[in-house]
Amino acid sequence: MAKYGEGDKRWIVEDRPDGANVHNWHWAETDCLGWSRDLLTKLLNNLTVLDGEGNLYLRTKTVDKVDGEAYVNVRKGKIIPGYEISLSLSWEGEAKDGDGKSLLKVDGVVEIPYISDENADEDPEVKVSVKDEGPIGRRIKEAMVAKGKPLILEKVRFYVESMAKGGPAKEEVEAKKIAPKSNSTAVGAAAATAKKEVVVEKKEVKKKESKKGFKTISLTEKFSCRAKDMFEILMDENRWKGFTQSNAKISKEVGGPISIFDGSVTGTNLELQSGSLIVQKWRFGSWPDGIDSTVRLILEEPEPGLTVVKLTHTDIPVEDRYGNATVVENTERGWRDLIFQRIRAVFGFGI
Residue 197 has pLDDT above 90, yes or no: no
Q: How confident is the model at residue 176 (pLDDT cuts 50, 70, 90)?
A: low
> To 5 degrees, how large is the angle CA 271–CA 273–CA 274?
135
Q: How confident is the model at residue 237 (pLDDT cuts 50, 70, 90)?
A: very high
Asked, for residue 129, whether it belongs to a domain, the answer is yes
Q: How confident is the model at residue 11 (pLDDT cuts 50, 70, 90)?
A: very low
Regarding whether 255 and 154 lie in a shared domain, the answer is no
For 263-291, the pLDDT digits (tens) are 899 999 999 999 999 999 999 998 999 99
What's the N-to-C CA distance of the chain in angstroms?
46
Radius of gyration of the chain (CA): 24
Query: Which carries the bigger pLDDT value, residue 43 or residue 11?
Result: 43
For 122-170, the pLDDT digits (tens) are 889 999 999 887 899 999 999 999 999 999 999 999 999 998 888 887 7
Whether the Cβ atoms of residue 71 and residue 30 lie closer than 8 Å to each other: yes
Residue 66 has pLDDT above 90, yes or no: yes
CATH code (residue 57): 3.15.10.20
pLDDT of residue 171: 62
Regarding whether 241 and 158 lie in a shared domain, the answer is no
Q: How confident is the model at residue 326 (pLDDT cuts 50, 70, 90)?
A: confident
pLDDT of residue 75: 64
Asked, for residue 191, whether it belongs to a domain, the answer is no
Q: How confident is the model at residue 27 (pLDDT cuts 50, 70, 90)?
A: low
| Percent of all residues in the chain with a pLDDT value above 70, rounded to a whole number | 79
Regarding whether 35 and 91 lie in a shared domain, the answer is yes
Regarding whether 218 and 138 lie in a shared domain, the answer is no
Asked, for residue 144, whether it belongs to a domain, the answer is yes
- 107 to each of 27, 144, 214, how far by Cα in Å? 45, 11, 47
Regarding whether 291 and 241 lie in a shared domain, the answer is yes
Residue 190 has pLDDT above 50, yes or no: no
Residue 143 belongs to what domain range?
28-175
Number of domains into which the chain is organized: 2
CATH code (residue 219): 3.30.530.20
Regarding whether 228 and 142 lie in a shared domain, the answer is no
Last residue of a domain, one of 123, 154, 175: 175
Regarding whether 240 and 327 lie in a shared domain, the answer is yes
For 242-268, the pLDDT digits (tens) are 998 889 999 999 999 999 998 899 999
Last residue of a domain, one of 117, 144, 175: 175
Asked, for residue 342, whether it belongs to a domain, the answer is yes
Asked, for residue 183, whether it belongs to a domain, the answer is no
Asked, for residue 166, whether it belongs to a domain, the answer is yes
Regarding whether 225 and 296 lie in a shared domain, the answer is yes
Regarding whether 169 and 38 lie in a shared domain, the answer is yes
Asked, for residue 134, whether it belongs to a domain, the answer is yes
Regarding whether 146 and 222 lie in a shared domain, the answer is no
Q: In this structure, what are the phi and psi dihedrals at residue 345, rounded to the nearest 5 degrees?
A: -70, -45
Regarding whether 157 and 44 lie in a shared domain, the answer is yes
Regarding whether 38 and 99 lie in a shared domain, the answer is yes
Asked, for residue 109, whether it belongs to a domain, the answer is yes
Q: In this structure, what are the phi and psi dihedrals at residue 163, rounded to the nearest 5 degrees?
A: -65, -40
- 350 to each of 224, 331, 340, how far by Cα in Å? 6, 22, 10
For the chain, the average pLDDT equals: 82
Last residue of a domain, one of 120, 155, 175: 175
Question: How many Å apart are CA 351 and CA 239, to the nearest integer?
Answer: 20
* Average pLDDT, integer, range 314-323: 89
